[in-house]
Structure 1
């Protein structure tokens, strides 16, 4: 059974949302891992991840003002993770259609007709990320004097104080709200834009409908993504070079399970 959404764009087919179970999540993960195994892209991700880490390390070395924001920046990466996985959606799409594919096809998304809508959706997530950083910094400055940050040991002392515990609890709670917001508006947005070239409002509306149709299952998916990124980050960030591509491929297959393909495509 599925729920139908009528797309506003002229002649666009109705969007049918399916109800899925946790078993579908793990089936999507298996399919995602198979895509990654057939077309490994970890080297490309290592080339992206390590320059970012180097920039952060340089800032930490140059001054400690960015230190309180390191955790929000690291966790906030999950908010823009769907953008990082764009190439994986394209690879999975090509494999699904039995087209020749290599890791270079991850960059074919830059030639997609849907690129303008992809950029617009990426900007939406960038705004969410920036809002998260503003909230995180405002929360920190409300509890601590930013000028009192003298060293890593000083920050450690602050975190174990009463105000530090409040910051940890409140910060993680607000981070959870931002994560749920991002999941709700983007769980199938990018795959759908790439697949059907729909506009951003249609993609977001479909993602919200997916969440409404499968609330507990999609929250479980969000937890799987968060834990995978956490483990990847703990493995000296090398794990992210595996976690992000696998999750990206899996998201494409999850989209296929959640959003029914148009009638012409099923023939």
Structure 2
């Protein structure tokens, strides 16, 4: 097997990125290629082992009542905000498959030796800060809408959200603010994290700049991509979050292929 990060790759990694214009056909192709990567190297067990303990812990704590009840959906939905960094192993699998190298699910752990690991970790800290900010804002929205009401269980909270004026305001404000946070993460990371994997000499600033430029050059396709990601994550969440074990790795691989179609 070829070395993961050669001197040639370290040298070419510092080259300035060019941005292509893409269309909806490129988005569909990226999704198909992501599905092909997932079928070739299934990683759903990895996601089940990581995702379900986290989601299960949050859900169990929320179902038992207490202060975490209002935050169960912001916490679960907010996991997608750190998804771009969590998918770095999938990007490496797709990169090596594209290069014709031998890969397995263990390839995902090769990123732990990546020269850009400190840069990736810094971006992960930034996304975690955005996640914490989102949860904090969600708590404030809850306090402003339902804070004056008696404590509710999870079932009562869901019923109130769809049948009361306070609930409708909660859904309106919460979804609007959540959209802003999701848009911010999309703009910052849609190509930056794959670029840090693909070009070891690139720093976090250059990678984020390229991501912002990609969104400016392709506003409609990137908006459609964000909507597709949100819809697929929601679809994967419906059957007790089981579908996320497939949806999340497919989206991770697809994001790599989207990056390769956008960045020269």
Moved more, 49-58 or 246-255: 49-58
Moved more, 70-79 or 29-38: 70-79
Aligned to 1:64: 66
The answer (yes or no) to whether the contact 1:19–1:214 under 8 Å persists in 2 is yes
1:79 and 2:81 aligned? yes
Q: How much has 1:73 moved relative to structure 2?
A: 1.3
The answer (yes or no) to whether the contact 2:35–2:253 under 8 Å persists in 1 is yes
Instruction: Return the TM-score normalized by structure 2.
Output: 0.91
1:64 aligned counterpart, secondary structure = coil
Aligned to 2:244: 240
Q: How much has 1:201 moved relative to structure 2?
A: 1.1
Name the CA distance, whole Å, in 2 between partners of 1:105 and 1:146: 51
Instruction: State how 1:1-267 maps to structure 2 within 5 Å.
Output: 12-145=14-147, 148-156=150-158, 158-159=160-161, 160-197=163-200, 198-260=202-264
The answer (yes or no) to whether the contact 2:93–2:103 under 8 Å persists in 1 is yes
Q: How much has 1:48 moved relative to structure 2?
A: 0.9
Aligned residues: 252
1:19 aligned counterpart, secondary structure = coil
Moved more, 55-64 or 101-110: 55-64
The answer (yes or no) to whether the contact 1:65–1:146 under 8 Å persists in 2 is no
Structure 1 runs (4+) greater than 4 angstroms displaced: none
Which whole-Å deviations, capped at 9, do the CAs of 1:96-138 have from their partners, x for residues lacking one? Answer: 1111100011111111111000100111111111111111101
Which whole-Å deviations, capped at 9, do the CAs of 1:222-255 have from their partners, x for residues lacking one? Answer: 0111111111111222211111111111111111
Aligned to 1:265: none
Which whole-Å deviations, capped at 9, do the CAs of 1:42-70 have from their partners, x for residues lacking one? Answer: 11111111111221133124433111111
Alpha carbon RMSD of aligned pairs, Å? 1.8
Q: How much has 1:146 moved relative to structure 2?
A: 6.8
Q: For the structure 1 residues 104 and 52, does the alpha-carbon distance in structure 2 shift closer, same or farther, using more than 3 Å as the test?
A: same
2:67 aligned counterpart, secondary structure = helix
- For structure 2, which runs of at least 5 residues remain unmatched after alignment? 1-10
Q: For the structure 1 residues 58 and 152, does the alpha-carbon distance in structure 2 shift closer, same or farther, using more than 3 Å as the test?
A: closer
Q: For the structure 1 residues 89 and 157, does the alpha-carbon distance in structure 2 shift closer, same or farther, using more than 3 Å as the test?
A: closer
Instruction: Return the TM-score normalized by structure 1.
Output: 0.90
Q: How much has 1:84 moved relative to structure 2?
A: 2.2
Name the CA distance, whole Å, in 1 between partners of 2:262 and 2:43: 26
- For structure 1, which runs of at least 5 residues remain unmatched after alignment? 1-8, 261-267
1:18 aligned counterpart, secondary structure = coil
